[in-house]
Amino acid sequence: MPETVAELVVETLIRNGIENLYCLPGVQNDDFFDALYDKQNRLTPITGRHEQGAAYMALGAALATGRPQAFAVVPGPGFLNTGAALATAYATNAPVLALAGQIPLRAIGKGFGLLHELPDQLGVMAGLTKQAARITGGDNAHAVLQSALAAMLSGRRRPVGIEVPVNVWKSPVAGAPADLVAAPEAPPEIDAEAVERAAGLLERAERPLIVVGSGAADCSEAVTQLAEMLSAPVIAYRTGRGVVSSEHALSAGAPVGHALWPACDVVLGIGTRLNQQMLWGADDAMKIVHIDIDSEELGRVRAPDVAIHGDTRDAVPLLVAALEGRETNRSDWRERIAAEKAHFAKAYRDRLGPQMAWLDAIRAELPRDGIFVDELTQVGYVARLAFPSYRPRTHLTSAYQGTLGWGIPSGLGAAHARPDVPAVAIAGDGGALFGIAELATAVHYGIPLTAIVFNDNAYGNVRRFQIENYNNRPIASDLTSPDFVRLAESFGARGLRAETPEELRQRLRESFRGGGPTVVEVPVGDFPSPWDFLMLPKVRGV
């Protein structure tokens, strides 16, 4: 049995299936890491070179696996350095536990100016997580840990945070049971009448449309079956990509959904905020069915005609069962969907050919179950439109946070957690340097990530907007970037360069065969703008 708070924290993480701890040690957490020393075969510390890198690795691992992950850092600047990763974990519904040290318990809030002191660290943590709490001693340690882990795994998954003052780690623990496994709350009971009302609306629909987000990742098969029964296109932009395979005739990206939006009569949202109602518009002729485990999302934008509060894994199969034998011939709608898909597939190649050529090269070499991590870069924006995704959790994005620089360190976490499949992270030269120090971590642990850096020596998107929207007055957007091949080699990683899409294919094959971390630098110039396909205007209720 654990005898101290530090031992209890270590054992609780282990018992709840957390195998790796992405971390940076430091003086306020020394007692914790001493307790971890004898348990490294069950909870492995993966030491980053910057706190943001450690937190991003935990995030990438959580997104790629769907399983809880954890990171540990010192308080104050150490914790603040993880803020962007925590905000992104919140935006992407990632089950990440943030474990932060703290100054001595009785000094908190006194303003003594102690090492790493913040005025209100717990308040900052609470603003970035689903739940945040402080362990104040052995008497509340077990309850805090159980509550945090249960919250992380209950309902809508999101990050949680715990802080532990430096003088509390060695506090004796009393009353912790032998079973340290957290018990998540049972999901809401599905309202059978709501399911039947939803089935009735969908059965009568002539032009139904489905929108999916990350909340549909664990019911991919049922969503696909439902789409086929309804002849409904399934629209995914960022976090819902791969819920229905891109190969499926009913899988569609945001521009296709936008083109169909004025005609659809019933929209079914599954595990999504369904912000299209706000961005693309809505009117009384559009009926809304919304399924989500987070009751706050049901009606956030507009009150749905039918709201189903529950786990999508429970609700979607019930809806499929309710529609059995009630299929309707919607051949005209299927033809319209196919026509719009063909139109945009051609438009992407006609107008975004350079980005598409690089994406084609990556897709040709990355296995179907390989992991692709996009970034805030020109190729990344187009990837959200046109990069084929065949399974959930294989196309990772920073969702609405748009966190520049997240790609390489999050890709390392994904590659570390899923070494069974190749992982590729893309970045521009601007975003790449945010976390490039983690190449040292990748080499140290042999993490097999392939990072592709598209180098235009600029914050290219910012520079384009300045040129196009501000009378050709670019400012603060030109960069001097390093030779990424030599930089990678200086870390002990493999450094390669690709001048053409065909060369990129060859470099990817080399990287996947060789294992370990690889950086492929791709020198590029200006790309055609993708924003006409991304900034889509209202088309209903205007």
Q: Please, what CATH class does the domain formed by 192-341 belong to?
A: alpha beta
**Which pLDDT score, from 0 to 100, does residue 411 have?**
98
The model's pLDDT over 451-476, given as tens digits with 9 standing for 90+, comes to: 999 999 999 989 999 999 999 999 99
Torsion angles phi and psi, residue 151, rounded to 5: -65, -40
Is 99:160 a contact under the CB 8 Å cutoff?
no
- pLDDT < 50 stretches in the chain: none
* Whether pTM exceeds 0.95: yes
pLDDT at res. 367: 98
Specify the 3-state DSSP secondary structure of 496. Answer: strand
Per-residue pLDDT at 235: 98
CA distances from 4 to 90, 108, 177, 417 (A): 31, 21, 14, 29
> How confident is the model at residue 87, as a pLDDT?
98
pLDDT given for residue 177 in this prediction: 86
The DSSP string of 355-410 is: HHHHHHHHHHHS-TT-EEE--SSHHHHHHHHH----STTSEE--GGG--TT-HHHH
pLDDT for position 526: 94
Tens-place pLDDT, residues 216-237 = 999 999 999 999 999 999 999 9
Would you give the distance in Å from CA 140 to the centre of its chain? 32
Contact 7, 35 (CB under 8 A): yes
pLDDT at 21: 98
Same topology between domain 5-165 and domain 192-341 = yes
DSSP 122: H
Element (H, E) at 275: none
Burial of 149-175, coded b for 16+ CB within 10 Å and e otherwise, reads bbbbbbbbbbbbbbbbbbbbbbbebee
> Using CA atoms, how far apart are residues 502 and 497, in angstroms rounded to an integer?
12
Give yes or no for a contact between 389 and 420, defined as CB atoms under 8 angstroms apart: no
Which CATH number fits the domain 5-165, given the four candidates 3.30.9.10, 3.40.718.10, 2.60.40.1150, 3.40.50.970? 3.40.50.970
In the chain, where are the structural domains located?
5-165, 192-341, 353-526
Range 353-526 classified under CATH 3.30.1490.20: no
3-state helix, strand and coil shares in percent for the chain, rounded to the nearest 5: 45, 15, 40
DSSP H stretches of helix in 40-172: 51-65, 77-80, 83-91, 121-128, 141-153
Residue 503 burial class via C-beta count within 10 angstroms: exposed 0-12, middle 13-18, buried 19 and up: middle
pLDDT of residue 174: 84
